[in-house]
Amino acid sequence: MISGPDIARDIKSEVAREVEEIVSLKGVRPGLTVILVGQDPASKVYVRNKQMGCDEVGIKSEAIKMPDSISTEDLLKEIDRLNYDGNVHGILVQLPLPGQVDKNRVLESIFPEKDVDGFHPTNMGRLVAQEDCLVPATPSGMIEMLKRKNIGIKGKEVTIVGRSVIVGKPIALLLINESATVTICHTRTRDMAAHTRNAEILIVSAGRPNLIGGDMVSEGAVVLDVGINRINREDADDRLLEWRKDDFDKKGSTLIGDVDFLEVEPKASYITPVPGGVGPMTIAMLLKNTLKAARMQLGVNI
């Protein structure tokens, strides 16, 4: 089992130490500003978790809350102000945004050196060109997991299920840059099982619960499950009701991944659980990106 919380804890302690080194060298505390538009409950939780992570490592955090009626232009003005604020080293706009806001214009307006989400086209382009850049947190977290578990990547057959800009595409680029042989599957893939069975490392980020069964995974594969799916009691089968009985008794629901854990775990050499796998790495790597952004802007090499 690959424990996300354990690895994330190690990364946070490393970040906290480097933050204090920057403070002692430059007299400046790295700062992250998160913009939250509207009242989406899940977004509020994510923003709160990011602020708690900043508090843990000594990064100064600020949340700017804006009404869901905001225009693209007004949001761009706020981002422009933050771009030129020397105390703000990282800017993150919490997604999703309301329909009237042009998401691409918003994300592209953040200075690349402050784009701690790694979604700016300049950072994506640098990732393609194998140049130093800020990389999306979830994909870089998975690479960190593999390396810290001493799981070799070079020359490995890797299959990725899912082609999103947030996970699928950037993790493919990172793995190619690590000299893996990468296959990407998606909704139009004709025989997905043929590709997943060929994988020595399988990464699943499709947003479909239990998409990958035991018959789709080879013996000894490394399986990283990025899916987070909430299943209510009335939608659970008997097997899930028994396995997650405590969750259903306490909350009436449980979280599962895109991989059928009960079927796949016995075959995998390494596997990430859901919850407690890839998820905690996202916050840890966001903090690491904020630290990196501050180092670049302040001219600090540690």
Tens digit of each residue's pLDDT (9 = 90 or more) over 278-298: 999 999 999 999 999 999 999
pTM metric for this prediction: 0.95
Across the chain, what does the average pLDDT equal?
A: 97
Q: What is the pLDDT of residues 2-24, one digit of tens each?
A: 999 999 999 999 999 999 999 99
For residue 181, what pLDDT is reported?
98
pLDDT at res. 302? 59
Measure the CA dihedral 244/245/248/250, to 10°: -110
174-203 pLDDT tens trace:
999 999 999 999 999 999 999 999 999 999
pLDDT digits (tens, 9 = 90+) for 102-130: 999 999 999 999 999 999 999 999 999 99
Q: How far is CA 289 from CA 135, 172, 202, in A?
A: 8, 19, 25
Helices (H), 86-189: 103-109, 121-128, 137-148, 168-177
Query: Tokens standing for 64?
Result: 């700017």
* Pairing relationship of beta strands 253-256 and 229-232 according to DSSP bridges: antiparallel
> Cis peptide leading into 96, omega within 30 of 0?
yes
Q: Which domains does the chain have, with CATH numbers?
A: 27-111 (3.40.50.10860), 137-279 (3.40.50.720)
Crossing angle of helices 168-177 and 121-128, rounded to 10°: 30
Catalytic residues, which ones? 50, 94, 117
Task: From 177, 275, 157, select the one nearest 218 (Cα to Cα).
Answer: 157
Q: What is the mean pLDDT of residues 38-57?
A: 94
Please provide the size of the chain in residues: 302
- How far CA 293 is from CA of 20, 114, 122, 251, in Å, comes to 15, 6, 14, 39
Give SS3 for 72: helix
As a whole number of angstroms, the distance between CA 225 and CA 48 comes to 24
